[in-house]
Amino acid sequence: MSQQAFIERAVASSRRRKIAVAVVLAVVALAVASAAAWFVFIGGVNDRLRIQDPALSSVLADAPADGPVYTVLAASYDDGDGGSGPDVALLVRTDSTTASASAVVIPGNARVKLSDGSTHRLGEAQTLGGDAEVVSAIEDLSGVQVSHYVKTDARGFVSLVDSVGGVEVDLSEPVSDPDAGTMTLPSGFQTLTGEQALFLCRANDFAASPEMQRGLNESQVAQALFKKFVGMDKLSFYTGMDGFSDCVKTDMDIKSAYAMVSSLRDIVAESVMTGVMPTYLSKVGDAVYQEPISDEWEAMMERFMAGEVPQQDKESIIESVDPASFTITVNNGGSVEGAAADAASILEGAGFTVDSVGNANQAVYESTLVVYQKSENEAKAEAIVATLGTGRAVLDAVNYSFETDILVVVGKDWQAVLDAREKTAVTNTTNAS
């Protein structure tokens, strides 16, 4: 090789090495910049997502490595509410080892005792003591230790539903409630937008068991959202959380949230078991509460904590008895005009045998009672409660005297049934026009 050729080859080789080094340095710089940008992105998401509150951290229990984990999902359906709420809370039990999940709906006007020692609606907990107060109230009410907390408001809820492409529900009846919004929803299977889902969760205008029906609707929406989230892969979840972090707030960072969601992938959304806190109307002064029916609530929580179905559906309860096989007395105990006759008509229309209709000795009953004197009649009493859509079953062989198998004492809560029916009739007439 000539000296000139050697020099030219050496120069070219040096140039190639410099270019290769520059390319490597550029790739390294790009990787470092991307990693830095990713950490900045994740940090920003976490700043918006996490609730930085030592009081909340102090009441939340560490999630166990194995076994059930309990999470509170709290929703306020009003924007700019200054911290009040929740309007509803879902106590959720998830167990990745058994691939099972269940949820119990607790209404915002459930009666609870808060840290000031006084009786309040659950919805007042946020104002009194923040997120920690909400969690503590639900723990006291349920007897479980909560490990995680997630909350949203109306604006966040709407954005969350829209960001996942809507939620699919199957409504057993049309929904129309002027107090919840101007729209109406037909019965049947449908995909709801964020605004429609918010309207459904706000709606409370149902002729029978309005709080129960509202809770069932809310649990459907929660199941639909669960299905959307467990179906996301890691990249979709992380990138989606940039928007989700503006919709919800939680004690978890994005890494913990993804770990929890990914651990639940084997749970089929349709298999999530749901229940609604059994309550009756209770009035203390001018305040009206949903009072937990203690024995039913305790039994529900035992089933819930054991991973069993928290609550039978209404149809199953009614179908468990032969309505024509026993007799019923219906008395008006709440001074609501025509209440006993109205309740008797509903029961007879469902095939029950009503022997007599009259008035109780005193018109002081706030809530409807379905009284039975023998334990073997419990299922019959529960079927009557499910048919009427209000009231509670009571075993009492001492304080009530009647000749039939079951005594129904219609309370002042029947007025709410009549009001809901009238509102629905007016709304349907208006829509028809």
Q: pLDDT for 299-333, tens place per residue? A: 899 999 999 988 777 778 888 899 999 999 999 99
Domain contains 358: yes
User: What was the pLDDT predicted at 83?
Assistant: 46
CATH number at residue 340: 3.30.70.2390
User: What was the pLDDT predicted at 194?
Assistant: 94
Nearest to 328 by CA among 400, 409, 406, 392: 406
Average pLDDT over every residue of 340-350: 94
Domain contains 222: yes
Do 182 and 241 sit in the same domain of this protein?
Answer: yes
User: What was the pLDDT predicted at 328?
Assistant: 97
Domain contains 189: yes
Residue 5 has pLDDT above 80, yes or no: no
d(CA 290, CA 83): 22
d(CA 291, CA 63): 30
Average pLDDT over every residue of 355-360: 94
pLDDT band at 3 (very low <50, low <70, confident <90, very high): low
Q: How many residues does the chain have?
A: 433
Do 64 and 106 sit in the same domain of this protein?
Answer: yes
Q: Verify cis geometry, omega within 30 degrees of 0, for the bond prior to 86.
A: yes
Which of 32-36, 47-51, 282-286, 385-389 has the least mean pLDDT? Answer: 32-36
Q: What is the pLDDT of residues 78-118, one digit of tens each?
A: 754 444 679 999 999 999 888 899 999 999 999 999 999 99
Do 275 and 217 sit in the same domain of this protein?
Answer: yes
Do 43 and 78 sit in the same domain of this protein?
Answer: no
Bridge partners of 406, per DSSP, are 328, 372
Do 38 and 107 sit in the same domain of this protein?
Answer: no
> Which residues of 174-230 form beta strands (DSSP E)?
175-176, 184-185, 188-192
Do 72 and 197 sit in the same domain of this protein?
Answer: yes
Q: What is the pLDDT of residues 239-278, one digit of tens each?
A: 888 888 888 999 999 889 888 888 888 888 778 888 999 8
Do 347 and 249 sit in the same domain of this protein?
Answer: no
DSSP state of 191: E
Bridge partners of 408, per DSSP, are 330, 370
Residue 9 has pLDDT above 70, yes or no: no
Domain contains 426: no
Do 270 and 361 sit in the same domain of this protein?
Answer: no
38 or 191, which is more confident = 191
Do 243 and 336 sit in the same domain of this protein?
Answer: no
pLDDT over 70, % of the chain: 85
Do 18 and 93 sit in the same domain of this protein?
Answer: no
Domain contains 239: yes
Domain contains 310: no
Residue 423 has pLDDT above 60, yes or no: yes
Residue 41 has pLDDT above 80, yes or no: no
Mean pLDDT for the chain overall: 85
Cα distances (Å, whole numbers) of residue 105 to 100, 288, 398? 17, 19, 34
Domain contains 116: yes
Nearest to 47 by CA among 260, 311, 253: 253
Number of compact structural domains in the chain:
3
Q: What is the pLDDT of residues 189-242, one digit of tens each?
A: 999 999 999 999 999 887 667 788 888 899 999 999 999 988 888 888 888 888
Backbone angles phi, psi at 212, to 5 degrees: -65, -45
Do 60 and 33 sit in the same domain of this protein?
Answer: no
Pairing of strands 327-332, 353-359: parallel
Which of 162-171, 330-339, 418-427 has the least mean pLDDT? Answer: 418-427
User: What was the pLDDT predicted at 415?
Assistant: 85
Residue 35 has pLDDT above 50, yes or no: no
Domain membership of residue 41 as a residue range: 1-49
Do 59 and 41 sit in the same domain of this protein?
Answer: no
Task: Give the alpha-carbon dihedral of 378, 384, 386, 392, to 10 degrees.
Answer: -60
Domain contains 308: no
Residue 37 has pLDDT above 70, yes or no: no
CATH number at residue 196: 3.40.630.190
Cα distances (Å, whole numbers) of residue 251 to 38, 58, 215? 21, 11, 25
